[in-house]
Amino acid sequence: MCGIVGYVGHQPCGSILIEGLRRLEYRGYDSAGLAIYNGEELVRVRSEGKLANLERAFMAAPVVGTVGIAHTRWATHGRPVEKNAHPHRVGDIVVVHNGIIENYAELRAELIAGGAVFESETDTEVAAQLIAKHRGSFGSLHETVRFAISLIRGSYALVVLDGGNPDEIVAARQASPLVLGLGEGEQFAASDVPAIMAHTRNVIFLMDGDSAILRREGISVFDESGAAVERPVKRIAWDPISAEKQGYKHFMLKEIHEQPARIVDTLRGRIAAGTNMVEIPELNLEPAFLRDIDRIIIIACGTSYHSGMVARYTIESLARVPVELELASEFRYRDPVVTERTLAIAISQSGETADTLAAIREAKRLGAKTAAVCNVMESTIARECGSVIYTQAGPEIGVASTKAFTTQLTALYLFALWLAQHRGLLDDAERRAELVGAFRQIPGMVEQAIALEPQIRAMAKELVHATSCLFLGRGAQFPIALEGALKLKEISYIHAEGYAAGEMKHGPIALIDETLPVVVIAPENGHFEKVMSNVEEVKARGGRLIVVTTAGAHGPERFADHVFVVPKAHPLFESIVTVIPLQLLSYCVADAKGTDVDQPRNLAKSVTVE
Ligand code: AGP
């Protein structure tokens, strides 16, 4: 996913633009660039690879100016080489873009037939060419940009600067996030808040179809029809430091350690003291619908899909509503049965994942009521669903989701309790007190599980040379096995597979030998005895066993090479605790291997392309 930063103000903006891009590195990228007006002309600097390369090129020939735009590119059309890096320039027009112009090929052909000369292989250059071509035909850059985007199909967050009119920048948004920052005599545009929150916490989230003119004296926003519109100014509560590493080696490690606090933040204000009733005011689902609901479809990708898999057990157990899990990228290619009694829940940390957005739109089109579990305020998925439960994880910078996962589970467990209440299944105050009391113990238990870090770090080097790893779990620990495997493979690049422990005998047991590390999640719950028999099967075949179990459990220590003991939580909520050692294991192995933990190769934090 690309990163955009724009500035118009009174400060030399080179460092503002580059620092802003640095705060967006988590989005994944393969080239970067900027363009600044130096008082006489537009100067563009671009480079392949990491931001450090752009910084070196910029320092070799600094450009001083108070208006500019910048970009980190995650290649979608055209190789990750300098000529494809943004900003794209045609004459005095420079453009940065995040998204995909789906009809770029036909537009490109028309423009070339009209004499345009392209320098790149990208879809974005089509936008630059269109704006340059029609630059004189309209009264302003803003109107020219609006005309150009009227010809474009697809998704875009665009920021445009005209060297012939360098006292403003124009921004436009369709299906790719764009946030504007309001300062004193200076204005900002960015793909995401971390890029600008060192300068301002007062932001406007553009809506789809919006465009804006940013001048030193202020920002004007216009809706799809071109009419001036007042978008609310939001105040970002995160402080600039919170998006820094705070002394941790990687954002991922910081975010693992943040989890107890973020779970508390997500719970805050949602459980009434005394009655233990769960309150989620932002869920505007009619009581009649909740009583009549016949099915919940949870739609998500990756780690978010795993949190939905875990939550299914708790929602079905408490609320007695059937829950189905759907991979977002698959949901649309079936002819799914959706009725007006169906609730479709999209789970997405970023709120911008293209597969999940497309799938939830399809569920809505088929008549389902929709709700979202998101971590980014005003994100597209959050705004397009009928209701949203925001997790309070704060900005998750590491590409590997950790605190987003455990705060998603927190939000989903709250939803399960809330739904059970509305279906008259939690009228018993004692039962509510028991469940809520157990829920409130989770942050402290997570804290205790995080304290395993030194023990896990000590053994992690044993896995550094592993070529594959198997994760096993039963019940709600099966998706935890999937999540542990995803974490390990996405940051250490070691192949890993999560499997239902009961499935071992149906094939995977053929893999077991002394070279294969097997991680078994075996909390002492209703499945413990059966899982322990799986542990013995693995041991009997010489497998290297790592077992995650709970305090007081007896048995694993007889077979396992390593046992990680976490506090024993209520079975309906225990997955928030059992996942912690697996997060730490993947982190410590990747750190020992020296991979790029926060920005693993080939990955982006938010996949906004299908
Ligand atoms: C998980 O560690 C990955 N970052 C990835 O699987 C992620 O969960 C997935 O892309 C979904 O992203 P979202 O939650 O922002 O929709």
pLDDT digit string, tens, across residues 247-280? 788 999 999 999 999 999 899 888 988 899 999 9
Point out the ligand 1 atom lying closest to the alpha carbon of residue 402.
2
Mapping DSSP to helix (H, G, I), strand (E, B) and coil, where does residue 155 land?
strand
Q: Output the pLDDT for position 373.
A: 98
For residues 36-40, give the mean pLDDT.
97
Does residue 349's CB lie within 6 angstroms of at least one atom of ligand 1?
A: yes
Does residue 401's CB lie within 6 angstroms of at least one atom of ligand 1?
A: yes
For residues 63-77, give the mean pLDDT.
89
Share of the chain above pLDDT 90, in %: 78
Indicate if the alpha-carbon torsion angle 168, 172, 178, 182 is positive or negative.
Answer: positive
Distance 16 CA to ligand 1 centre (A): 29
Could you say which of 254, 369, 487, 605 is catalytic? 605
Closest residue CA from atom 6 of ligand 1? 302
Share of the chain above pLDDT 70, in %: 97
Q: Output the pLDDT for position 269.
A: 81
Q: Which two tokens stand for residue 110?
A: 């028309």
Residue reference for tokens 């590491």: 398
Distance 188 CA to ligand 1 centre (A): 27
Q: Is the pLDDT of residue 562 over 70?
A: yes
Does residue 391's CB lie within 6 angstroms of at least one atom of ligand 1?
A: no
Does residue 586's CB lie within 6 angstroms of at least one atom of ligand 1?
A: no
Q: Output the pLDDT for position 76.
A: 63
Strand partners, 173: 157
Q: State the Cα–Cα distance between residues 381 and 232, nearest whole angstrom.
A: 18
For residues 294-299, give the mean pLDDT.
97
Half-sphere exposure of 538 toward its Cβ, with a 13 Å CA cutoff? 32
Q: Output the pLDDT for position 99.
A: 84
Q: Which two tokens stand for residue 168?
A: 């403003």
Distance 131 CA to ligand 1 centre (A): 35
| 469 assigned to active site | no
pLDDT tens digits, one per residue of 579-610: 999 999 999 999 999 999 998 988 888 887 77
Q: Is the pLDDT of residue 119 over 90?
A: yes
Distance 508 CA to ligand 1 centre (A): 27
User: For residue 73, with 0-12 CB atoms within 10 Å meaning exposed, 13-18 middle and 19 or more buried, which class applies?
Assistant: buried
Q: Which two tokens stand for residue 477?
A: 């620990």
Q: Output the pLDDT for position 241.
A: 59
Q: Output the pLDDT for position 1.
A: 65
Report yes or no: 190 and 20 within 8 Å, Cβ to Cβ: yes
For residues 76-97, give the mean pLDDT.
90
Secondary structure tally for the chain: helices H, strands E = 19, 24
pLDDT band at 243 (very low <50, low <70, confident <90, very high): low
Q: Is the pLDDT of residue 325 over 90?
A: yes
**What are the helix (H) ranges across 451-574?**
453-460, 477-492, 528-540, 556-559
User: Which long-range contacts link 456-461 to residues 24+ away (Cβ below 8 Å)?
Assistant: 456/564, 456/581, 456/584, 456/585, 456/588, 457/584, 457/588, 459/546, 459/562, 460/585, 460/588, 460/589, 460/591, 460/592, 461/592
Distance 605 CA to ligand 1 centre (A): 7
Closest residue CA from atom 5 of ligand 1? 302
For residues 516-521, give the mean pLDDT.
96
Q: State the Cα–Cα distance between residues 309 and 239, nearest whole angstrom.
A: 33
Q: Is the pLDDT of residue 237 over 80?
A: no
Closest residue CA from atom 16 of ligand 1? 348
Q: Which two tokens stand for residue 161?
A: 């600067």
Point out the ligand 1 atom lying closest to the alpha carbon of residue 399.
4
Could you say which of 2, 301, 385, 588 is catalytic? 2
Does residue 303's CB lie within 6 angstroms of at least one atom of ligand 1?
A: yes
Q: Output the pLDDT for position 351.
A: 93
Q: Output the pLDDT for position 231.
A: 96
In sequence order, the 6+-apart residues with CB closer than 8 A to the CB of 81 are 31, 48
Q: What are phi and psi of 191, to 5 degrees?
A: -70, -30
C-alpha closest to that of 574 among 313, 348, 400, 316: 313
Q: Which two tokens stand for residue 422?
A: 């509305």
The packing angle between helices 453-460 and 575-593, to 10°, is: 40
Distance 405 CA to ligand 1 centre (A): 9
Distance 606 CA to ligand 1 centre (A): 7
Does residue 187's CB lie within 6 angstroms of at least one atom of ligand 1?
A: no
Q: Output the pLDDT for position 79.
A: 77
> Of residues 302 and 553, which shows the higher confidence score?
302
Q: State the Cα–Cα distance between residues 105 and 107, nearest whole angstrom.
A: 5
Point out the ligand 1 atom lying closest to the alpha carbon of residue 303.
8
Residue of 176, 255, 331, 353 with the most ligand 1 atoms within 8 Å of its CB, for mutation: 353
Does residue 353's CB lie within 6 angstroms of at least one atom of ligand 1?
A: yes
For residues 368-389, give the mean pLDDT.
91
C-alpha closest to that of 441 among 554, 580, 576: 576
Least confident of 92-106, 137-151, 308-322, 451-465: 92-106
| 2 assigned to active site | yes
Q: Which two tokens stand for residue 476?
A: 């709600």
Does residue 6's CB lie within 6 angstroms of at least one atom of ligand 1?
A: no
Q: State the Cα–Cα distance between residues 349 and 343, nearest whole angstrom.
A: 19
For residues 287-307, give the mean pLDDT.
96
pLDDT band at 28 (very low <50, low <70, confident <90, very high): low
pLDDT mean across residues, the chain: 93
pTM (two decimals):
0.72
Measure Cα distances from 258 to 253, 386, 550 in Å.
9, 30, 22
